Amino acid sequence: MDNIVEKIGICIERGKVNKSSPYPGDMKDQEGADELAKAALESSVTPEEILKACNDGMQRIGEKFSRNEVFVPELLMSAKAMNAVMAHLKPFFQTGKVKAKGKFVIGTVAGDLHDIGKNLVAMVVEGNGWEITDLGADVKPAKFISAVKENPGCIVGLSALLTTTMINMSNTVKEIKAACPETVIIVGGAPLSAKAAKEMGVDGYAPDPQGAVNFLDNVLKK
């Protein structure tokens, strides 16, 4: 069964969703993540093994994205393949047989309606085994604080694309930290830098989705 598990990871990395999917061209007419996940579970492969293969595949595509070896369309196809597998695994999460790494609350800050970058981070982080609460775009501080209180121990991700909304991000950080001082916060977005993030008093900065995954995994190790 090692072979089928390895194939699932490859399908995630390459963005092969199912047999009918024409993408990628060199895997046309081959079974994809959907069929392989179903077959693996029917063959007594554990959900944990399948999830690990998915995590490995998402990590590989995330690292390629960080190195500019692939681009947003490829990353989106990998996320789509991951979602196909998650449809088979969700019943195991719901029964508690499979545990998520942790909870990640994410949203684009108030005044900013851009959500592509935020969506990419959410998909890649979920693909790496985290439970996601996506608050959407133009999220006011109070909504973040409510989500933190509803999800004790969660990590918060703030996104912004506009330079003009960086002040809103800074204010959101201050309000979350004032209401829930122990909350770990990571920020990201086009106008940000590690220096700007540090000045806001956050715990982490990620320039891309894989950077967010690496930060989250490092938090777990502490």
The pLDDT mean for the chain works out to: 93
Domain with CATH 3.40.50.280 in the chain: 103-221
**Which amino acid, 55?**
N
4 to 1, 29, 40: CA distances (angstroms): 5, 17, 7
Give me the pLDDT at residue 97, please. Answer: 78
Question: What pLDDT score was predicted for residue 181?
Answer: 97
- Looking at residue 1, its pLDDT comes to 58
Looking at residue 113, its amino acid is: L
Residue 13 has pLDDT above 90, yes or no: yes
| Count of CA atoms in the C-beta half-sphere (13 A) of 141 | 15
Condensed to tens digits (0 to 9), the pLDDT of residues 103-112 reads 999 999 999 9
pLDDT digits (tens, 9 = 90+) for 24-54: 999 999 999 999 999 999 999 999 999 999 9
Please give the share of the chain, as a percent, with pLDDT higher than 90.
80
Q: Which fold has domain 2-94?
A: 1.10.1240
- Tens of pLDDT, residues 113-139: 999 889 989 988 988 889 999 999 999
pTM: 0.84
Could you give phi then psi for residue 83, rounded to 5 degrees?
-60, -35
What superfamily would CATH give domain 103-221?
Cobalamin-binding domain (3.40.50.280)
Q: How far apart are CA 4 and CA 23, in angstroms?
A: 19
Span 139-197, pLDDT tens digits: 999 999 999 999 999 999 999 999 999 999 999 999 999 999 999 999 999 889 999 99
Burial of 139 (0-12, 13-18, 19+ CB in 10 A): buried
Give the E-state strand segments of 137-181 in sequence order. 155-159
Residues 6+ apart with CB under 8 A from 94: none
User: Are 23 and 77 a contacting pair, CB within 8 Å?
Assistant: yes
Query: Would you tell me how many other CB atoms lie within 10 Å of the CB of residue 44?
Result: 7
Expressed in percent and rounded to 5, the helix, strand and coil fractions of the chain are 60, 10, 30
From start to end of the chain, where are the E strands? 103-108, 131-134, 155-159, 184-188, 204-205
Sequence letter at residue 75 = L
Question: Confidence band (pLDDT; 50, 70, 90) for 98?
Answer: confident
**pLDDT value for 20:** 97
Residue type, 215: F
